[in-house]
Structure 1
């Protein structure tokens, strides 16, 4: 898919992450990314937020993408390679980890959803899905340096991960919540964050942006879908942001 000068490899049904991370970043502003020394993308999917971070980050920054789905990792690698010239020019350190973020280092179960953005992990090795290796957030943070920000979209695992992690050295965090909002807020406040909630409405105005995407047939299809769904369902993305008080 071509978005202006960008050429990205994406899941056909992954248009939501493109809207959230490329068209209008719902996690961090370009200024917040530019001011960070390390940007961590948890639940990278096909790395649209990572791509945005590569473009907006300051020279010398470290960017870490973490994603358990091996199919998504292949797309991530292709997208990172396409921006190798920019990574080299800005002297960025970009790391891609094919791991699930969890509260322990073990092999766990990844249930692949019919909708690529909805895949989720669970403990143990039973049930439908594939086996993936997990990494703790504490060990991911060990790879960071300086002012660190974290984008987290891990499809329901956020409570377990945050509850059992030490993120007191993290400057800012943005979590897409899939469970109890108040519980996530409490965890972040207990770790010294000042929190606030952002509700991002995905509206019909995005339809016009999709009409400029190539291939035209795909862009037109998503533009129609977005226009209709925005009128019926009025979808909203809820983000809890935490910053040092």
Structure 2
């Protein structure tokens, strides 16, 4: 169940809206710091936790330089939004956390994405471990811990996507190993393959069912025609017998 919590800052009357999505509270409106005031313009849209279209970047090797993982930096450029997301996703995998797709700002004219906010999946605040009647809830393995690690980037007039903000530090252990990450992706890949195979089998079953129905209809039609022919033969035989009987009596 989704619900919002509004926090008022009396000094400048700004409002920060937090949204609870079943795991914890996360910002529903943009939280902008530093020199990113231009990101406050327009509406931010909160995205899903995962993006199925993300894969490893083609230049994945560029993430490792001299045995060290290459980090994003303010001013870093990408050819497309997807390139930026793939880079941060690969960076997260190598460093040891799971990327969370947070918010984006759309153009009020054509709805195109103008800016993106990516972060750690432990951003936000988890609810109290106690239930309504005081019992302890089982802690979620991906409980949020208010992590501030993030990368923001925007679309420039040149057509490039440029990083405008990067926070490296996490407030929790980085414990997602490459092996674990690859296992998860391998499981997802197998599930997708099984789903495609299931769909293919269902399509084949539907095709076989249609062919069987057509075959039964053909058999029924031929059976009806055969019955009509047999009936005609029987009638002709009876007619011939009747004529023969009439002739014999005469």
Calculate the TM-score normalised by the size of structure 2. 0.19
Q: With CA pairs under 8 Å and 6+ residues apart, which has the higher RCO, 1 or 2?
A: 1
Higher strand residue share: 1
Answer with 1 or 2: which has the greater Rg.
2
TM-score by length of 1: 0.19
